[in-house]
Structure 1
Amino acid sequence: MRASRAAAFAALMLAAVTALPAAPTAAAATTGQVGPAGTWYSMSNYRVLDTRVGKNVPVGTVGPDSITRLDVTKVLFGITPTAVVMNVTAVDATDNSFITAFPDGQALPTVSNLNATPNHRVTSNRATVQVGADGVVNIYNHVGRVHLVVDLQGYYSDRDGGGDGGRFVVGEPTRLLDTRTAIGGHPGKLVGGTAGVINLDASSVGSPSDNMVVQATVTEPTESAHLTMYPAGQSPWNTSDLNFDPGQTVTNLSYAYTTGDRRLALYANSGEAHVVVDYIGGFVRRANDSSSSGKFIPVNPVRVLDTREGLGAAEAKAAPGSTTRVKVTGLNGVPETVAAVVLNLTGTNAGEDGHITAFRAGAARPSTSSLNYTGNEDTGAMTVVPVSTDGYVELYNPHGSVDLVADVQGYYSS
């Protein structure tokens, strides 16, 4: 494993300021391990790894070129899923680095799930990861030392779970909340503490279930804090969906539980911040629906776009007001026709802050955001994007110039 890691990353660093792996060669991008189709089983954000306290791993930061093993079967009490959705958090990074999660038993892929930096004490991103045949997920840290924290939000399984498993239904991207405006009915910043909790009514989008997929963004925060989303009426969960510093704009995807009448609680532990929530889709339980579409098929992650290298698009930054058309099917076992892909989007080499909207190629561009990137930093966010019948998505950049990187983590069947 050590030799394969060294070979995979022999030419990683394009420049000293970036901590993203370089684009793979065309040959490397055409092979991969495809997992079986699975249905979704949601969890209440269960912490499964924390190097700060030694939860399921030794206490202490992980070092450069290291792999931390997470035994998923063990933490799920004997269940071996096909893939997991987890929030990966980097704490107290000593260098600009990237974190890559991948199935045990597979070669380290040339992708990233999270970009860690000393500029921010805590950085998190959602990751969808295929599970190795032995039930283990590997978490790789490129350079420096860093603490790792992992919260499990749910998993996919190809085994019958009594009809509770869900299939994904693509929704119409919709802005549910923007506290900078009256959208969602809660104008004004979210105030930290239980007294400031926002109970968002999300019933307007007609989600097929109480398990919704949403993209949450925090902007203009006054303090370092975290955002947690959970069903309205409950106490705040002891996990986080977003971690942020003062003045930072951060986006993360969440497979959020709501109440039966589609109410979602938003809680910040301190300070004040504006919050934006965009609806992407939801899950319908197999017990109520016999359709075979919307099952998730994990792949060993594959890079489909890197504008630094001319992979998937021209070798040039995405210009202000530009739309980048990206082919996301036909590689690593992803078929030509899929309902949606799970992407990790990264913005890098930007001179200023900005955002990206990802959407089905040829469709009307929604008034939502998939990634909010920071100038002079590598910024990533996982998202779910519907795919056109010919296998494309589009990435719209409204302002500033930025290099874009996109990694496919899996897809939903059509």
Structure 2
Amino acid sequence: MPRPPRRSARPALAVAVVLRALVAVAVVTAGLTGAALPAGPAAAADTSRFDPGNLISDAQFWDSTSMTVAQVQAFLDDKGRGCVPGPDGTPCLKDFRQTTSSWAPSPRCTDGYTGAADESAATILVKTARSCGVNPQVLLVLLQKEQSLVTASGSALHPGRYRAAAGYACPDTDAGGCESLYYGFHNQVYSAAAQFRRYALNPAGYPHRAGMDNVIRFSSRYPDCGSSTVRIRNQATAGLYNYTPYQPNAAALAAGYGTGDRCSEYGNRNFWAFFQDWFVAPANRAPVGSLDSVTASGDTVTVTGWALDPDADASTSVRVELDGTPTTVRANLSRPDVGAAWGRGDLHGFSVALPATGGDHTVCVTALDLADGPSTSLGCRDVVVPVGATYTAVTPWRALAFERVDAGRTTTLTLRDVPAGATAVALNVTVARPTANTYVSACPGGTPVDRCRSSSTVNPYAGRDTPNMAVVKLGPGGTVTFYNDAGTVHLVADVQGFFVPDGGATYTAVPPTRVLAFQEVGPGQVHDLRLTGAPAGATAVVLNVTAARPSSRTYVSACPGGTPVETCRASSNLNPYAGEDTPNLVVVKLGPDNTVRLYNDAGTVALVADAQGWYVGGDAGDDYVAVAPRRAMSFQPVGPGGLHTLTLPDPPAGASAVVLNVTAAAPTSRTYVSVCPGGTPTAACRASSNLNPYAGRNIANLVVAKLGPGGTVSFYNDAGTSQLIADVQGWYVP
């Protein structure tokens, strides 16, 4: 007489065990050198391919010779390789043995079963499969689906797991549990296999039938969860629904092996997923891996990480490209963390050292498939090979005069009188007569437009002349490229100095120090500022100059002390409008007695100056390493009185200071922004300023900031909220 269908509440218990296994995998993954690993082999099959009408094909379900005893044992050894017995000594399935009973041949299991002493689980499964004509893989998945027996370990193992191993005769209508007549591992396995044959021999005698539309519920407990119509396409699928008469809902499928919602059932989902993961050969999967680090030392760039082909144990290869030049290496270094997470052995790490010239470089890494299948990009990193340059200050001179640049276009400036070997230039860039709100970027000559436009130097508004200081890495032939995003602008560029390998001055960064406080300068007048704190041998100073309370539209120039007025006024550093405080960074060659001359063209302004650092002759200070602009902070909101600390990405070893173009975007009120070494107390940071934005108006300024511990810089905003942007222009290194 047919037994009642087994109950489907048990998969929840199985799922809990699977989830514990997944948590264990997650813990291993989190230890992988800070790099995030893609999901390991414990992840569920792609449930987007789940078809409720075709859980498994008939050919697969009834393939009783798919595995030998040795193959089943090897499978159990692999899946249970970390298994330990239960607290009461209940064995792992790979180690389970039982004295079996004999069963007479029947139409369902034509060979019957000849019992024997001390048979292994693998032997019981294969003998049952051969007799009943059921795939031993199906029986393995059934044990996992019902009781997680294939992978259960430790406290998850107890006699009850084996007593109801296949969930046979555990009906939904019986609140007392499974029928004791069918207790025991061998009894459960053989009875379940025979039951599937019974379904096939008498398909019309059971509610779920192949080739027909079947109404299948989503929940065994809650009728309000509803049902859907499923056309079952084969007998094997019909048998699985007769054995477990529920289907997974969308929440169950979306959860993979995890938990869905109150209406979710997991039995047939788990059967399908385990069979797919364990026994259906996947399509050639793309390799996985991680680019862990890219570092520079001397004239060498070292690249490390890991990569593996999830379809094989053998070590795969990676292609490492330095500025587009490829090198292929084998990823065969020991990485036990990767082996623990993926179960494909430990030999999947790589470390490659590449020779590199001084300057900034881009490294990209690709993991290659062992079977020439799809490759996987592990990403790209920028790295700086330090090659220091010293600073040679000059009396400002105009290199570009009102050069028109239309929207989305570039112009390239070829500088004259560039010192031999110069790596970068200090320019004061003014955007004059802009016809629209726009931004202008300054980049090494020849930089592709898409790369150049990814950072900004000046952020003018329509009709407002706007300056900013820029320290730009030189392109081939001493060139600088300027990009304009919108409208039409006329660009002005005044050279302040050059960075050269030898013979110039080195840089000493200092915390911002106020050296001039609201000094009034009338129209056509100069103020000579004597810098009493200049170190011995100083040749130039870095100042953040603010023109406060201008009574009219004007421009302000900063020149070496003693420069004739006509020469000084021939270039400009700030372009303030009446009533609007305007800051700009200036790098000024020092005149006699460490003096700087400040010229104001019209009206009256109150000038403020904060010293950021000094260029000093000799080798006592730091050299400058110019890089192509790269964004380090993007629209970081900082509220009133707030302090945000940025850890800069990939600073060169020993870097003491960074050159940043800082933009305050979308300020909600008039405010000022200060940039200080990371860790500076708020009270000290707010005592100087770098930007003075007005509500709703983006403003940018170049900043040379001394680095705090761990390569950090802090940003203080005084009022309202500002969205802060920071683009790295270069570094100072010993």
Same fold (TM over 0.5): yes
Pick the aligned partner of 2:381 from 12, 30, 47: 30
Residues 24-49 of structure 1 deviation map (CA, whole Å, 9 limit, x = unaligned): xxx98833676732111111111111
Q: In structure 1, how many angstroms separate the alpha carbons of the residues matched to 2:665 and 2:643?
A: 16
AA at the equivalent of 2:669: E
What corresponds to 1:391 in structure 2? 711
Question: What displacement does 1:80 show?
Answer: 5.0
What corresponds to 1:55 in structure 2? none
Question: What displacement does 1:400 show?
Answer: 1.3
Pick the aligned partner of 2:594 from 242, 247, 262: 262
Q: Confirm or deny: 8 A CA contact 1:35 1:299 kept in the other structure.
A: no
What corresponds to 1:219 in structure 2? 548
Q: In structure 2, how many angstroms separate the alpha carbons of the residues matched to 1:302 and 1:34?
A: 15
- Asked whether 1:190 is paired with 2:521, we answer yes
Question: What displacement does 1:262 show?
Answer: 1.9
Pick the aligned partner of 2:396 from 45, 51, 57: 45
Question: What displacement does 1:412 show?
Answer: 0.2
Q: Confirm or deny: 8 A CA contact 1:29 1:302 kept in the other structure.
A: no
Question: What displacement does 1:88 show?
Answer: 0.7
What corresponds to 2:665 in structure 1? 348
Q: Confirm or deny: 8 A CA contact 1:340 1:412 kept in the other structure.
A: yes
User: Aligned pair in 2 of structure 1 residues 374, 207: CA closer, same or farther (>3 Å)?
Assistant: farther
Question: What displacement does 1:373 show?
Answer: 1.4
TM-score w.r.t. length of structure 1: 0.79
- Asked whether 1:363 is paired with 2:680, we answer yes
What corresponds to 1:142 in structure 2? 485
User: Aligned pair in 2 of structure 1 residues 207, 253: CA closer, same or farther (>3 Å)?
Assistant: farther
Q: In structure 2, how many angstroms separate the alpha carbons of the residues matched to 1:34 and 1:51?
A: 36
Q: Confirm or deny: 8 A CA contact 2:665 2:723 kept in the other structure.
A: yes
What corresponds to 1:233 in structure 2? 562
| Structure 2 counterparts to residues 17-166 of structure 1, below 5 A | 30-31=381-382, 36-51=387-402, 61-72=404-415, 75-76=416-417, 79-107=420-448, 108-109=451-452, 110-120=454-464, 122-158=465-501, 160=502, 163=503, 165-166=504-505
User: Aligned pair in 2 of structure 1 residues 30, 210: CA closer, same or farther (>3 Å)?
Assistant: same
What corresponds to 1:4 in structure 2? none
TM-score w.r.t. length of structure 2: 0.46
Q: Confirm or deny: 8 A CA contact 1:336 1:390 kept in the other structure.
A: no
Q: Confirm or deny: 8 A CA contact 2:384 2:652 kept in the other structure.
A: no
Q: In structure 1, how many angstroms separate the alpha carbons of the residues matched to 2:531 and 2:419?
A: 35
What corresponds to 1:318 in structure 2? 638
Larger radius of gyration: 2
Residues 136-169 of structure 1 deviation map (CA, whole Å, 9 limit, x = unaligned): 21111111101111111111112x3xx3x00001
What corresponds to 2:57 in structure 1? none
Pick the aligned partner of 1:276 from 596, 602, 608: 608
User: Aligned pair in 2 of structure 1 residues 294, 303: CA closer, same or farther (>3 Å)?
Assistant: same
Pick the aligned partner of 1:377 from 685, 697, 703: 697
Q: Confirm or deny: 8 A CA contact 1:208 1:282 kept in the other structure.
A: no
Question: What displacement does 1:105 show?
Answer: 3.4
User: Aligned pair in 2 of structure 1 residues 135, 206: CA closer, same or farther (>3 Å)?
Assistant: closer
Q: In structure 2, how many angstroms separate the alpha carbons of the residues matched to 1:71 and 1:79?
A: 14
AA at the equivalent of 1:177: L
Q: Please say which of residues 39-48 and 225-234 is displaced more in the overlay.
A: 225-234
Q: Confirm or deny: 8 A CA contact 1:97 1:143 kept in the other structure.
A: yes
What corresponds to 2:315 in structure 1? none
Q: Confirm or deny: 8 A CA contact 2:625 2:732 kept in the other structure.
A: yes
User: Aligned pair in 2 of structure 1 residues 38, 139: CA closer, same or farther (>3 Å)?
Assistant: same
Q: Which has the higher contact order (CA 8 A, sep 6+)?
A: 1
Question: What displacement does 1:119 show?
Answer: 4.4
Specify every segment of 5 or more residues in structure 1 that has no aligned partner in the other structure, as ranges.
Answer: 1-26, 53-60, 180-185, 308-312
User: Aligned pair in 2 of structure 1 residues 78, 342: CA closer, same or farther (>3 Å)?
Assistant: closer
Secondary structure of the residue that 2:533 maps to in structure 1?
Answer: helix
Q: Confirm or deny: 8 A CA contact 1:34 1:300 kept in the other structure.
A: no
User: Aligned pair in 2 of structure 1 residues 176, 169: CA closer, same or farther (>3 Å)?
Assistant: same
% identity of equivalent residues? 27
Q: Confirm or deny: 8 A CA contact 1:32 1:299 kept in the other structure.
A: no
What corresponds to 1:335 in structure 2? 652
Question: What displacement does 1:376 show?
Answer: 1.1
Q: In structure 1, how many angstroms separate the alpha carbons of the residues matched to 2:545 and 2:591?
A: 18
Question: What displacement does 1:172 show?
Answer: 3.6
Pick the aligned partner of 1:401 from 706, 712, 721: 721
AA at the equivalent of 1:192: P
Q: In structure 2, how many angstroms separate the alpha carbons of the residues matched to 1:207 and 1:248?
A: 36
Q: Confirm or deny: 8 A CA contact 1:221 1:246 kept in the other structure.
A: yes
Specify every segment of 5 or more residues in structure 2 that has no aligned partner in the other structure, as ranges.
Answer: 1-377
Structure (1 or 2) with the greater strand fraction: 1
What corresponds to 2:512 in structure 1? 173
AA at the equivalent of 1:131: L
Q: In structure 1, how many angstroms separate the alpha carbons of the residues matched to 2:628 and 2:383?
A: 6
Pick the aligned partner of 2:628 from 296, 300, 315: 300
Q: In structure 1, how many angstroms separate the alpha carbons of the residues matched to 2:492 and 2:472?
A: 15
AA at the equivalent of 1:67: T
User: Aligned pair in 2 of structure 1 residues 134, 231: CA closer, same or farther (>3 Å)?
Assistant: closer
Pick the aligned partner of 2:577 from 245, 268, 277: 245
Structure (1 or 2) with the greater helix fraction: 2
Q: In structure 1, how many angstroms separate the alpha carbons of the residues matched to 2:524 and 2:432?
A: 23
AA at the equivalent of 2:631: R
Residues 249-304 of structure 1 deviation map (CA, whole Å, 9 limit, x = unaligned): 11111111233322222210110111101111111112xxx34x510001111111
Q: In structure 1, how many angstroms separate the alpha carbons of the residues matched to 2:533 and 2:715?
A: 26
What corresponds to 1:12 in structure 2? none
Q: CA RMSD in A?
A: 2.1
Q: Confirm or deny: 8 A CA contact 2:393 2:539 kept in the other structure.
A: no
Secondary structure of the residue that 1:173 maps to in structure 2?
Answer: strand
User: Aligned pair in 2 of structure 1 residues 133, 232: CA closer, same or farther (>3 Å)?
Assistant: closer
Q: In structure 1, how many angstroms separate the alpha carbons of the residues matched to 2:563 and 2:478?
A: 32
How many pairs are equivalent? 348
User: Aligned pair in 2 of structure 1 residues 103, 234: CA closer, same or farther (>3 Å)?
Assistant: closer
